[in-house]
Amino acid sequence: MTIPSASRRRPGRPAWAGRNYTLLTAAAVVTGLGNAGALIAAAFAVLEAGGDGGDVGLVAAARTVPLVVFLLIGGAVADRLPRHRVMVAANTLNCLSQAAFAALVLSGEARLWQMAVLSALGGTGQAFFSPAAEGMLLSTVDGEQAGRAFAIFRMGMNGAQIGGAALGGALIAAFGPGWVLAVDAAAFAVAGALRAFLDVGRTARRESAGMLRDLREGWREVAGRPWLWGIVVQFSVVNAVVAAAESVYGPLVAEEHLGGARPWGLALAAFGAGTLLGGLLMTRWKPRRLLLVGTVCVFPFALPSAALAVPLPVPALCAVMFGAGVSIEVFGVSWMTALHQEIPEDKLSRVAAYDWFGSVSMVPLATALAGPAESAFG
C-alpha cells in the first residue's frame, strides 16, 4: 500500500486539487479519449474481418473474462505495492496489446483468435489497473469537498469520452478501425508517463499476511456493509445488460439500421454529454440521502437497451443516451463519495476490486450470448 504524500498545489487552486489529483485527472482524460474510440473500433475491426455478431461478442467476452479472473488479485496487489507502479505497469501492458491489435488490423491479416487474445491481454491490464486507480484517487482527495472533486474528475474523464467517441466513429468511417486502435495505444503510453510522476510518498510496511488473508480482509469489509454488497449485486445485472448493448447490439444495430459507425459514435457521445451534465450537477448538489438518490438514478439506464431494440431513429436514440448519462453520473459520484467516507484507506483497492468483480462478473456471459441471441431472435 502507498501513503500519498502531502500533494502540492499552486496558489488559487482549491485545497483538494493538488499535484496528484491533477495528474490523475489528466491521465484519465487522455485514456478516455483513446478508449472511447477503441471500443467502437474493436467491434468494427471484427466485422470488417468477416465476423458476425457472435464473433463481436466473443472478442468482447475475451476482454472481460481475465478482468473477472484477476480483479481480486489486482486489488490485493494494489493494497500491498505502490499503487502508481501497478497503474503504470498495467498501462504498459494495455499500450503493447493495443499497438499489436492496431498493427494486425492495419495489415489486413487480423484473425479472430488473434483479436481475442489481444483483447484478453487488455482485460488483464485493466484487472490490475482499476482497483489501483480507484484506491489512488479515493485516498488522494480529502475533506468535505470530496464529492465535488470526484464530480470534476469524472467530468474530465467523461468529457474526453464525448470527443473520443465522436472522433472515433468519424475516423473509423474515414480511415478504418486500425488507426483508432493505434491512437488508443499512444494514449496508454502518455497516460502511463503521467502516472509515473505521481508523488506517492513512502510505502507503508505491512506484515506479510499472505494473499488469501488480504482477500478475506477485503471480503469482510464488503460483507459487513449491506448497502455496499446490495449495490454491487444490482450492478452485476445492470452492467451485463449495458455491456451487451454497447459492445454487441449497438454496433450491429448501427451497421444494419442506422448507417454505420458514425451514428453509433454520436449516440455514445450523447451519453458522454449526459454524464458531463450529471457531473456538473453533482458539483453543486449534495443530496441528504446520497445513496438513495444515486440508486434511484440507476433505473433510467435501462432505456438505451430498449431504444436499440425498437430501434429508435438516431436523434431519439441520442436523446435517450443523453438522459441515461445524466442519471448514471449522479449515481457514480454518489457511490465514489460513499466509498471515500466509509472505507479505510488501506483497504480501498481490495474493496474496489470486490466492487468491480461483482459488477462485471456476468458481463462475459452476457457479451458471449448477445451475438448468438441477436442472430437467432433479432
- Residue 6 counted as domain residue: no
Query: What is residue 13's predicted lDDT score, i.e. its pLDDT?
Result: 55
Q: Which pLDDT band, with edges at 50, 70 and 90, does 322 fall under? A: very high
Q: Is residue 16 pLDDT above 80, yes or no?
A: no
Average pLDDT value for the chain: 84
Query: What is residue 31's predicted lDDT score, i.e. its pLDDT?
Result: 93
- Residue 231 counted as domain residue: yes
- Residue 7 counted as domain residue: no
Beta carbons within 8 Å of 303's beta carbon, 6+ residues apart = 320, 323, 324
Query: What is residue 243's predicted lDDT score, i.e. its pLDDT?
Result: 76
Grid coordinates of 144: 468535505
How many angstroms from the chain centroid is the CA of residue 355?
13
**Which residue bears the cell 436499440?**
308
pLDDT, one tens digit per residue, over 247-288 is 677 877 887 788 777 888 788 878 878 988 999 998 888 887
Q: What is the total count of domains within the chain?
A: 1
- Residue 61 counted as domain residue: yes
Letter for the amino acid at 133?
A
Q: Which pLDDT band, with edges at 50, 70 and 90, does 100 fall under? A: very high
Q: Is residue 2 pLDDT above 50, yes or no?
A: no
- Please list the alpha-helical segments (H only) found in 245-347: 250-253, 261-284, 290-296, 303-309, 314-342
Q: Which structural domain, as residue segments, surrounds residue 311? A: 19-203+211-377
User: Which SS3 state, helix, strand or coil, does residue 2 take?
Assistant: strand
- Residue 73 counted as domain residue: yes
Q: Which pLDDT band, with edges at 50, 70 and 90, does 193 fall under? A: very high
pTM of the model: 0.79
Q: Which pLDDT band, with edges at 50, 70 and 90, does 139 fall under? A: confident
Query: What CATH number does the domain containing 273 carry?
Result: 1.20.1250.20
CA neighbor of 36 nearest in space, from 169, 232, 153, 134: 169
CA neighbor of 173 nearest in space, from 96, 258, 298: 258
DSSP codes of every residue in 271-298: HHHHHHHHHHHHHH---SSHHHHHHHTT
* CA pair distance 43, 152, nearest whole angstrom: 30
- Residue 288 counted as domain residue: yes
Q: Which pLDDT band, with edges at 50, 70 and 90, does 126 fall under? A: very high
- Residue 85 counted as domain residue: yes
Query: What is residue 4's predicted lDDT score, i.e. its pLDDT?
Result: 47
CB atoms within 10 A of CB 374: 20
DSSP codes of every residue in 25-66: HHHHHHHHHHHHHHHHHHHHHHHHTT--HHHHHHHHHHHHHH
Grid coordinates of 308: 436499440
